[in-house]
């Protein structure tokens, strides 16, 4: 979309000219690389989950977010992932930039961290809407689950975060995956 193209241009400009983004190979370290990437994932979901929940409020849902949920079982990957209203795109991208600033000013940031996070976001968004079953658990934490996002499409009042369900568990909006046959068994 035009909005995403403008945002990508803005991001490329920031990467190239910003004094707070490290670009040298030798400046890549533990703090501004892997730790910054982890914080960026957490901060982005921390901001996005409540905003996404707000988009489900009846006064906003019909005008901004409803057409994204036309597909109860999304399977077309990036096509379904990018099926967003321009206002929703602006909100998500603005929150992402805030998460970038929060991370950069907390632990520093290397351009490789931004590139890695954008790659994870694009891949994760596509997988969330592709019908694949993928779960990433690390150190006992559910970091990513396509099933969690499928449950969000089936139960739009649950699982608002993009990647980690930590914030949904905190907000009381998390629901674990329920297979259709399990759901039918529970109903009987």
pTM for the model: 0.83
Contact 128, 149 (CB under 8 A): yes
Residues 6 or more apart in contact with residue 77 via CB below 8 angstroms: 126, 127, 129, 130
Decide: helix, strand or coil at residue 136: strand
Q: Across 33-179, where does the E strand assignment appear?
A: 109-110, 135-138, 141-145
- Cα-based distances in Å from 50 to 3, 60, 104, 117, 162: 22, 14, 22, 20, 11
- Pairing, β 109-110 against β 21-22: parallel
**Structure confidence by residue, pLDDT tens digits, 117-132:** 988 888 877 676 677 7
Partnered with residue 22 across adjacent β-strands are 110
Query: Could you give phi then psi for residue 142, rounded to 5 degrees?
Result: -80, 100
pLDDT at 108 over 80: yes
How far apart are alpha carbons 51 and 161 in whole angstroms?
Answer: 9
CB atoms near residue 100 (< 10 Å)? 23
How many C-beta atoms surround the C-beta of residue 134 within 10 A? 12
Q: What is the mean pLDDT of residues 146-165?
A: 84
* Lowest-confidence pick of 8-12, 18-22, 106-110: 8-12
Q: For the residues 51-58, what does the mean pLDDT come to?
A: 90
By the 8 A CB rule, do 146 and 128 touch? yes
Does residue 166 register a pLDDT over 90? Answer: no
Q: Given the structure tokens 């929940």, which residue do they identify?
A: 53
């Amino acid at each position: 979309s035009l909005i995403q193209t403008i945002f990508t241009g803005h991001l490329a400009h920031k990467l190239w000219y910003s004094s707070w983004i490290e670009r040298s190979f030798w400046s890549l370290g533990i703090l501004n690389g892997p730790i910054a990437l982890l914080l960026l994932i957490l901060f982005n979901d921390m901001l996005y989950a409540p905003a996404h929940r707000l988009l489900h409020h009846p006064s906003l849902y019909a005008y901004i977010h409803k057409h994204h949920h036309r597909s109860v079982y999304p399977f077309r990957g990036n096509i379904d992932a990018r099926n967003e209203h321009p206002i929703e795109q602006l909100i998500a991208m603005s929150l992402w930039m805030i998460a970038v600033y929060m991370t950069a000013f907390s632990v520093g940031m290397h351009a490789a961290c931004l590139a890695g996070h954008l790659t994870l976001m694009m891949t994760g968004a596509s997988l969330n809407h592709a019908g694949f079953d993928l779960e990433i658990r690390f150190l006992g934490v559910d970091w990513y689950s396509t099933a969690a996002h499928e449950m969000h499409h089936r139960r739009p009042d649950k699982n608002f975060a993009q990647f980690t369900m930590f914030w949904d568990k905190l907000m009381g909006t998390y629901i674990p995956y329920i297979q259709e046959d399990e759901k039918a068994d529970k109903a009987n």
